[in-house]
Amino acid sequence: MSLNEILLYCARKCQVGPLRRSAFRKFCRRNRDRELVARTDSGYHMNTVIGDSVDNQIYVNGVYEPEVTAFFAEMARRSQCFVDVGCNIGYFSCLFQQVNPGCRVFCIDANPVMVRRATSNLALNGFTNFAAFNFGVSSREEELNLNIPVNRHSLASFAYVPGNGAGGEVRSVKVVARKLFQIIPTQEIRNGVLKVDTEGYELQVFSGMSMEEADLFSCILFELSPGNLEKANIDASDIFAVPWFSAFDHYHIGDDGRLTPFSAGNKMVQEVSVILLNKKFDLTDLHDKAFR
């Protein structure tokens, strides 16, 4: 076996946590910028470029955010469409198409490179029921600077210039941003699922949606990071004060993989995936499931 093969085996199979993590880091350092095709645990393939944390996790582990992946697989079976704001390389978009080919997928990303990569990954698996858009999503139509760490594209943000942890040089590109439903037509959304991952810009995304528009979604999931909120000068309570949030019950996936009630007052020490469940849909059976 080559050293790469040994490191990859240890990163995937080693039962000793520190050794497994060390092998993971060493494999990724040795293979930075290398293009590799991953086979995910969900059965679809993805073109990855080793270096960014998203690509690294997908290639080495075959899964990204396992609890969220399991939750979204369940929602894909129940839904008619999926809107992926901040689609990155298309991992969750591919998941929805894999689980439910009849589910219409909309990929949206401000970074044109990510739109191309997501489109390529969907096409790699023969998925066709999707549309991709290169726009930012905001509370109004405007031109914004997207700050993209050259070596960590998943940390790109409108809200601030990424610093420590971004991994070196940051470049800025001008991007046209619009309200979500200026990008996709409302008639396309029925019993939809919305994912928002915009690195501290979530408030502007949600402020651009009306109560009637939000009500088209049975479920909304977004990343809430205390570090990102601080850099963006936003408090979690500002996001939860968006008027249409009252039409949804608020949860996150706990350490046991189950849905746990969540509020803006919850103390956050790390990033959490907040799940909003529309009160008009009967989703109470989700509380009995463990998403792992």
**Structural domains of the chain sorted by starting position, each given as residue range(s) with its CATH number in brackets:** 1-30 (no CATH), 65-288 (3.40.50.150)
Say if CB 200 and CB 171 are below 8 A apart.
no
pLDDT, averaged across the chain: 93
Q: What does the pLDDT read at residue 215? A: 95
Written as six digits, the tokens of 39 are 């086979």
How many CA atoms lie within 13 Å of 119's alpha carbon, on the beta-carbon side?
12
How long is the chain?
A: 292
Lateral strand order in the sheet of 136-137:
136-137, 170-178, 142-149
188 three-class SS: helix
* 109 DSSP assignment: -
Q: What does the pLDDT read at residue 269? A: 73
Query: Does residue 153 surpass a pLDDT of 80?
Result: yes
Confidence of residue 268 (pLDDT cuts 50, 70, 90): confident
Average pLDDT of span 208-218: 96
Decide: residue 246, CB within 10 A, 0-12 exposed, 13-18 middle, 19+ buried. Answer: exposed
Query: What is the distance of C-alpha 145 from the center of its chain?
Result: 20
Q: What does the pLDDT read at residue 246? A: 95
CA–CA distance, 32 with 209 (Å, rounded to integer): 39
Confidence of residue 21 (pLDDT cuts 50, 70, 90): very high
CA–CA distance, 292 with 289 (Å, rounded to integer): 9
Written as six digits, the tokens of 85 are 């704001």
Q: What does the pLDDT read at residue 164? A: 55
Q: Write b or e for each residue in 107-129: b if 16 or more Cβ atoms lie within 10 A of its Cβ, otherwise e.
A: bbbbbeebbebbbebbeebebee
**Total Cβ atoms within 10 A of residue 134:** 18
Average pLDDT of span 191-201: 95
Q: What does the pLDDT read at residue 167? A: 59
Q: Which among 246, 258, 243, 244 is positioned nearest to 74, based on CA atoms? A: 258
Query: Does residue 166 surpass a pLDDT of 70?
Result: no
Residues 72, 226, 32: CA angle, nearest 5 degrees: 70
- pTM of the predicted protein model: 0.95
Q: What does the pLDDT read at residue 282? A: 87
CA–CA distance, 22 with 256 (Å, rounded to integer): 25
Q: Which among 36, 27, 33 is positioned nearest to 8, based on CA atoms? A: 27
Considering only 1-5, 102-106, 113-117, 165-169, which range has the smallest mean pLDDT? Answer: 165-169
- Expressed in angstroms, the distance from the first to the final Cα of the chain is 32
